[in-house]
Amino acid sequence: MSAAPDHGPGRRVSTDVLVVGAGPTGLMAGAWCARLGLQSLVVDGKAGPTRESRALAVQARSLEVYRQLGLAQAVLDGATPATSVSPGFRHRTLGTVRLDRVGQQLTPFPGITIFEQSANEELLAGHLRDRHRPVAWGTSFRSFTTDPRAAGSGGAVTVELDSPEGLVQVSARYVVAADGASSAVRRALGIAFEGATNRFEFYVLDAYGVTGTESGITLRASREHFMLAFPLGDDGRGGRRARLLGILRAEDRSPADPDEGAGAAAASPAAEAAAEARDEIRARASLAEEFGVRYAGTDWYSTYRVHHRVAAAFRAGRVFLAGDAAHIHSPVGAQGMNTGLQDAQNIVCTIADVLAGREPEDVLDRYEAERRPVALTLVRTTDVVFGAVTSMSPLARFLRTRVFPLAAPVLLRAAPRLPLGGRMFGYLSEIRIHYWMPGTEADRTGPRRRRRGTVLGRRLPWVPDAGHTGPVPGGDGHGDNHEALNTAEWQVHAYGPAADRLARDLADRHQDRAAGRAGPASGLPVFRFRAAPEAGLPDGTALLIRPDGFVAETLDDSSVPARKVSPR
């Protein structure tokens, strides 16, 4: 099926997966559908990819996801690296943490990669176009004509879309709603978007001719303000570009709930332009006076409210919410777009397993069980951090003005040398996400217990010099154990010679997970590597790895019972 069919009035289309929304999350979902051989259709009411920079950073875990699609190098080629973070107070920098050094033994992509949302969308949309699955632009969600939660829906849900040529009806096995914070799909399902909105208004601008910031990420606080600056490279005018964010502390001029924005009456263009000009003058003055940051001009300026919200459910029958449709939070940590990209990979890999017969349909509940806790934790932590830097309480002001300037230099010097530094990088980069896995086969005789461990339930620990015993089909020649993940299939890893028997046992017991690949008889691929105790993979460790790179089951030479993703 073409991803952009010739729409006509009353046109009917069938597909495995309908993706509503072609932002980074929706486009990533479409890219993974293509990677795993699913029929899919990605639609969006916009005329084309976003032109504004908007979300900015690609974290290490997301680059690992891009690598599995063969696109990591394209991201790096078009990106600006941000290898350090420099906290400060007012005009002073209090120290610098080199993220690339802290994370260099944890991921092939240490640091933070500045690759704007518009560039992510262009890359992924082009990737789909190259695979003859172009996005159906100008095509938006209208309604469901069958209840996606109905058991008697015939294994599909029917969706009405408005296209440039008229009404289109799509019969989809599954729907991924990635249509943003004001998601029409979420509203049609009646799913609450729970949370709150920060009472302050914030500014975001992309400036050129910037002075007063460090070469990496700059974070500064003052008595009543904070400033966050991300490097955007050279400005082509002999200076530097940067993304600058801070507080306007203006009266509320926007809806408190993102769902309320769709029908709100808009001000006249002239009034909006005048208000924006006044706000930009205030932002420029605040940056200069509070933090000594100046710039020659702006390429883009906007104001916004910070929402901390999570959908009450991520699944309604055959429909799944992903990205901003499922969760929104503060820009502190630069993790919003990244969480959506990883939502997309998770749900598409799960759908692919179900459609190929590798898993029963009830495994689809795993998406909400895994991704909603990630969103809740992220919203909770960013809410706390954002509250601390914006609070006007006497205690918060005291901490910002008295404690922070004294404590930060000491902490910054110590952090890279302590395990805490690696942990903090892991949380920021999202490589420390930890899922609960259902219990073992033995647990079925009693209460089923969920399990996770130092490796189980985590993304596969990275071993840079993995010592492959043979070539990796579809590998990229980097020689690390993540190279095997480029096959994007269920697989078994053996670490050290003592793991060989256990790996064969895992592969034999899970050969049904190869169904739909080359037939059950071919079994699961087994990759053999050196023992890597420094990564928690000592000699005698065998792992079952999901297509998304997470460890689903572990065995070691002490014959620990199998730990499985789902009961068979």
Q: Which residue has the tokens 């916009």?
A: 46
Q: What angle do CA 507, 513, 517 make, to 5 degrees?
A: 110
Task: Tell me the two tokens of residue 97.
Answer: 């943490």
Cα-Cα end-to-end distance for the chain:
33
Q: What is the pLDDT of residue 3?
A: 43
What's residue 383's pLDDT?
66
Q: Return the exposure string of 189-225: e unless at least 16 CB atoms fall within 10 Å of the residue's CB, then b.
A: bebebebebbebbbbbbbbbbbebbbebbbbbbbeeb
pLDDT of residue 2: 45
333's tokens:
């940590």
**Helices 336-355 and 24-35: crossing angle, nearest 10°?**
30
Helix (H) or strand (E) holding 369: helix 365-390
Classify residue 9 by its DSSP letter.
Answer: T
How far apart are the C-alpha atoms of 297 and 286, rounded to whole Å?
A: 15
Low-confidence ranges of the chain (pLDDT < 70): 1-10, 53, 151-154, 249-267, 332-333, 383-392, 396, 402, 404, 406-420, 439-450, 515-522, 557-568
For residue 529, count CB atoms less than 10 angstroms from its CB and return exposed for 0-12, middle for 13-18, buried for 19 or more: buried
Query: CA-to-CA distance for 143 and 535, rounded, in angstroms?
Result: 49
Handedness of CA 147, 149, 152, 153 (dihedral sign): positive
Q: What is the pLDDT, as a whole number, of residue 263? A: 43
Instruction: Kindly state the tokens that stand for 192.
Output: 């609450």
Return the H-helix or E-strand segment holding 243.
Answer: strand 240-247
d(Cα 274, Cα 270) in Å, to the nearest integer? 6
**What is the pLDDT, as a whole number, of residue 517?**
42
Name the token pair of 103: 């994370």
| Residues in contact with 190: Cβ distance below 8 Å, sequence separation at least 6, in sequence order | none
Provide the b/e sequence for 486-512 (b: ≥16 CB within 10 Å). bbbbbbbbbbbebbeebbeebbebbbe
The strand pairing partners of 300, in sequence order, are 206
CB 153 within 8 A of CB 297: no
What is the Cα–Cα distance from 533 to 499, expressed in whole angstroms?
13
